[in-house]
Amino acid sequence: MATKNLLQAIHEGLAEEMRADESIMVLGEDVGRAGGVFRVTQGLVEEFGTTRVMDTPLAESLIVGSAIGLSVNGMRPVAEIQFGDFIPPAFDQIINEAAKFYYRSNGAWNCPLTIRAPYGVVPGGALYHSQSIEAWFCNTPGLKVVAPTFPADAKAMIKSAIRDPNPVLFLEHKRTYRLIKEEVPENGHEVRLGKARVHREGADITVVAYGLMLYAALEVANKLSEEQGVETEVVEPRTLYPLDNETILDSAKKTGKVLVVSEANLTGSFSGEIAAIVAREAFEWLDGPVTRLGAPDVPAAAFARPMMDRFLPSAEEIEAAMLELARY
Amino acid sequence: MAIRETNARHEALGLDDDDLRRMHYYMLLARRVDERSWILNRQGKAAFVISCQGQEGAQVGAACNLRPGNDYLYPYYRDSGMTMLLGQTPRDQFLSLLGKEEDPNSGGRQMPGHYSDRKLNIVTASAPVGVQYPQAAGTALAFKMRGEDGVVLVCGGEASTSGGDWHEAMNFAGIHDLPVVFFVENNVYAISVPAKFQVAGSIAKRAEGYGFPGHEVDGNDVLAVYEVAKEAFERARAGAGPTLIEAKTYRMTAHSSDDDDRRYREREEIEEWRQKDPIIRFEKYLIENGVLEEAERDEISDRIKAEVAEASEYAENAPFAEPDDVLTGVYAEG
């Protein structure tokens, strides 16, 4: 079994699906000869040609809108939005169109469509190559929003997304693309959408996190275990919408203390939804306040590195929040 | 002499008397269904009406070229002349108008005019204007990728050309020579805003900039529309790429049952266009050319009237979906 990083794993998932089913195609800006700005689609155009790996004009509404039209005529398109920050022109096509096709046609039309979008803070990315866009979409019944963080999960979930009969927004944290390598099965590994993952078991506190913050939470959890004997259960939603409430609530009931960490602007972020569910459904088991950590309510990360670092929840802040909860 | 010239007109298009009668039937049917819808609205039975009146000739002339269930149609909310020509019935129209369970478009979920029919390849429509164009381009791309000869007909009013989606789709269709016919029904008004404040220059001429033909046509002349649409469909089917058609027509009713057009347009202007009513014009042609006798026209009109009355009554008596149906069918299974 080969070890792969996140972007290699997504690439492999795409390539395997395209080999197995010729209705599957990718389209977006620079996905062809350039192989995508992050190289996720590198080599696909050589194997599958310029139609199934189509460079589109720089027009996000067209990219998603045409993918909808492809999906209702026998194709299974994977549309790439180069950076999540540039997805707003496609908002109408995602929110009002793809997500509502099935419901509004009373089940006659569905959109088997995957939209890949890199998100999250990255050095040098600044305001328009950094945003966490998940909350914009997690209020949209009919759409699925997934955000896997580990390579093996990401490969399995891009396949699940492609095979899903519904539109799926597939979010990839840019800074996790090359962060780690892990063993990624060639074939057969399946992760169904809508299922969270418990990365680390623990009896004292629960941390719910995804993206880059998940790695930070796991590191702090190991440190607190070694240094202070605090045992943290770390839960990754993997699918944000619809959310796997059960796995999160099971953990909340076990530890009685829940911290949600993401790098989205805190107010109105999806972590608020997770916190609300825990506060209501696990109330009787809670021994401390449901706590959230996120970015400050400023527009987005800055270009200059010191300001960018200040924007993100730091390992120290995460540790302090975890310890505060543990001491309740 | 005049008769022979006009005769040559439909014969040159390959249309026989039955074809013409069929076109006339659907134009008149669309008009009568629409008129009945307003009555149901004024009776307090229909919450909302959006009309096709004045545009039936454009709609039927274009949609005659579709092969139902093979080609795709992306209609806009006035295109009842198209959807009925393809196979939807007056019952379907009234079931949708009244939001009943059997409404084939949405089972009572959407407003009237938001057409959908999977078996007829009528792709589900929504209310935001212009979103259908990129979708239509994508559907056409699928045909082209598979080497099939399907054609996509996508429709909108003149205001649907103002937003980016229309231009993005035109550009994409031009780049890849996609088998799509852009059909703009320029009915002069976007609710209250007249075309002179909506459209710079000419819609039809914009096609040239995207590298394919654009035609302006008298949208109240069903045969003229049929002629340019036929050429556009043939071109698309042959793999030669897209065509833009701007059908100049007129919205004879208010925007919708919630609009009062006396606030923004003169009655005289509507009266002028009534003289150019596409149905009256076509009936005149049919009678002059011996395709229809006056008595036969009256008989057809009576038959449609009865059909519409029956359909309306059926829909009025049809049940609503269970309230809990609103909670179902958010995600497709599988």
Residue-wise pLDDT tens digits, B96-136: 999 999 999 999 999 999 999 999 999 999 999 999 999 99
Tens digits of residue pLDDT in B66-105: 998 899 999 999 999 999 999 999 999 999 999 999 999 9
pLDDT digits (tens, 9 = 90+) for B248-270: 999 999 999 999 999 999 999 99
State the Cα–Cα distance between residues B255 and B32, nearest whole angstrom: 18
The number of C-alpha atoms within 13 Å of A209 and in the hemisphere containing its C-beta is 33
Half-sphere exposure of A167 (CA within 13 A, CB side): 32
- What is the reported pLDDT for B6? 53
Catalytically annotated residue among A129, A173, A189, A199: A129
- In the prediction, which pLDDT does A1 show? 76
CATH top class, domain A3-183: alpha beta
Nearest to A65 among B106, B138, B140 (CB): B138
> How far is it, in rounded angstroms, from Cα B303 to Cα B298?
9
Nearest-CA distance A157 → chain B (Å): 15
Q: Which residue among A70, A73, A105 sits closest to B124, beta carbon to beta carbon?
A: A105
Q: Is residue B71 within 8 Å of residue B44, measured between CB atoms?
A: no
H/E stretch holding A233 reads strand A232-236
**Which of the four pLDDT bands, split at 50, 70 and 90, describes residue B7?**
low
Exposure letters B99-131 (e unless 16+ CB within 10 A, then b): bbebbbbbbbbbbbbbbbbbebbbbbbbeebbb
A chain contacts of residue B123, beta-carbon cutoff 8 Å: 69, 72, 109
Residue B181 above 50 pLDDT?
A: yes
DSSP A171: E
Mean pLDDT over A114-142 rounds to 97
Q: pTM of the entire structure?
A: 0.97
Residue B39 has pLDDT above 70, yes or no: yes
CATH 3.40.50.920 residue window(s) in chain A: 197-326
pLDDT digits (tens, 9 = 90+) for A1-50: 789 999 999 999 999 999 999 999 999 999 999 999 999 999 999 999 99
Where along chain A do the CATH 3.40.50.970 domains lie?
3-183
Strand B152-157 relative to strand A258-265: parallel, antiparallel, unpaired? unpaired
- The residue among B77, B92, B131, B141 with the most chain A CBs within 10 A of its CB, best to mutate, is B141
- Give the pLDDT mean for A80-109: 98
Please indicate if any CB of chain A lies within 8 Å of the CB of B135.
yes
Task: Specify the DSSP class assigned to residue A16.
Answer: H
Rounded to the nearest 5 degrees, what angle is found at the Cα of B28, between the Cα atoms of B25 and B30?
A: 105
Q: Known catalytic residue: A129? A: yes
Residues of chain B in contact with residue A144, where contact means CB-CB under 8 angstroms, are 331
Q: Does residue A198 carry a pLDDT above 50? A: yes
Closest CA to A171 of A117, A237, A242, A90: A117
Residue A172's pLDDT is what?
A: 98
Mean per-residue pLDDT of chain B: 96
Q: Is B318 on the interface with A (CB under 8 A)?
A: no
CA distance A284 to chain B (A): 29
Q: What is the DSSP letter of A314?
A: P
Q: Cβ–Cβ of A74/B146 closer than 8 Å?
A: yes
pLDDT surpasses 60 at B5:
no
pLDDT (tens digit per residue) in A273-317: 999 999 999 999 999 999 999 999 999 999 999 999 999 999 999
Shortest Cα–Cα distance, A58 to chain B (Å): 9
The pLDDT of residue A2 is 87
Q: Does B116 touch chain A (CB under 8 A)?
A: yes
A60-71 pLDDT, tens digit each: 999 999 999 999
User: Residue B22 pLDDT > 60, yes or no?
Assistant: yes
What's the topology of domain B2-258+265-318? Rossmann fold (3.40.50)
Indicate the burial class of A211 (C-beta count within 10 angstroms; 0-12, 13-18, 19 or more).
buried
Closest residue to A61, CB basis, from B136, B143, B164: B164
Output the average pLDDT for chain A: 97
d(CA A56, nearest CA chain B) in Å? 8
When CB atoms are compared, the residue of A61, A106, A165 closest to B329 is A106
Q: Using the predicted structure, report yes or no on whether residue B1 has a pLDDT greater than 80.
A: no
When the candidates are 3.40.30.10, 3.40.50.920, 3.40.1390.10, 1.10.3210.10, the CATH number that belongs to A197-326 is: 3.40.50.920
Residue from B264, B281, B297, B314 carrying the catalytic annotation: B264
Among chain A residues, CA nearest to B116: A105
Angle CA(B13)–CA(B15)–CA(B16) in degrees, nearest 5?
A: 145
Does A306 lie at the interface with B, CB-CB under 8 angstroms? Answer: no
Please give, rounded to a whole number of angstroms, the shortest distance from the CA of A62 to a CA of chain B. Answer: 5
Residue A65 forms contact with B (CB below 8 Å): yes
For A110, name the nearest residue in chain B, comparing CA atoms only.
B332
> What string of DSSP letters covers B269-322?
HHHHHHTT-HHHHHHHHHHHTTSS-HHHHHHHHHHHHHHHHHHHHHHHHSPPPP
A103: contact with B, CB 8 A cutoff: yes
Task: Kindly list the residues from chain B whose CB atom is less than 8 angstroms away from the CB atom of residue A165.
Answer: 331-334
**Mean local confidence (pLDDT), B35-46:** 97
CA pair distance B146, B144, nearest whole angstrom: 5
> Residue B150: beta bridge partners?
none
Residue with tokens 């800006």: A29
B174: tokens are: 């031009």
Cα B52 to Cα B202: distance, rounded to the nearest angstrom: 23
From chain B residues 24-83, the ones with a CB under 8 A of any chain A CB are: 72
pLDDT score of B326: 97
pLDDT of residue A268: 97
> What is the predicted pLDDT for the residue at B8?
73
Mean pLDDT, rounded, for A82-107 = 98
| Facing residue for B332 by CB, picked from A51, A72, A165 | A165
